Amino acid sequence: MKNNRIQSMLVAVSILFSINVFAEVTVSDAVVRVLPPGIPNTSAYFTIKNNGDKDVALVSANTDVATSAELHAHIMTGEMMSMQKQDQVIVPAGQSIEFAPGGLHVMIFGLKASLKEGQMVKINLITSDNQSISLQAKAVKPGEEKQQHHHH
């Protein structure tokens, strides 16, 4: 009987610990672009804040609405703007990073169905230590991404 109670307490503590590992990281203003039917790829934007005292390295992303998702950035090379996959994005301790049109974003490839305006899309960001940060992104028309971002 005593062993069962100890096991239950250990399970409860480990669940609490796993929940709190990323309680220090918050995501706000998450949106994903609604594009015309037949366009298989889209992008997601949000602000991620690291309230902790250690940097957090994002290394990948995934979503159930598509075959794959990647961390990307628009990079200026001379006069040319190009999109490049990022192996990792560091969210420095105590700072925020904005994923926005023309900069960092989550590129979503191979949509399984066209997104509908207002639909909520679950996206998981994966850290270098294999933790998952889940966010809900609201599907919006192109051009409305900035309207969803509230600058503090």
Output Rg (C-alpha) for the chain, integer angstroms. 18
- Other beta carbons within 10 Å of 143: 9
Indicate the pTM of the whole model.
0.80
Q: Is residue 80 predicted with pLDDT exceeding 50?
A: yes
> pLDDT tens digits for 32-72?
999 998 999 999 999 999 999 999 999 999 999 999 999 99
Rounded mean pLDDT, 76-82: 85
Between 8 and 74, whose confidence is greater?
A: 74
Q: Is residue 140 predicted with pLDDT exceeding 90?
A: yes
The pLDDT of residue 3 is 58
Domain ranges of the chain: 24-144
The pLDDT of residue 15 is 45
How does DSSP assign 67-120, residue by residue? Answer: EEEEEEEEEEETTEEEEEE-S-EEE-TT-EEEE-TTSEEEEEEEESS---TT-E
39 phi/psi in degrees, rounded to 5: -85, 115
Q: Is residue 85 predicted with pLDDT exceeding 80?
A: yes
The pLDDT of residue 148 is 52
CATH H superfamily, domain 24-144: PCu(A)C copper chaperone (2.60.40.1890)
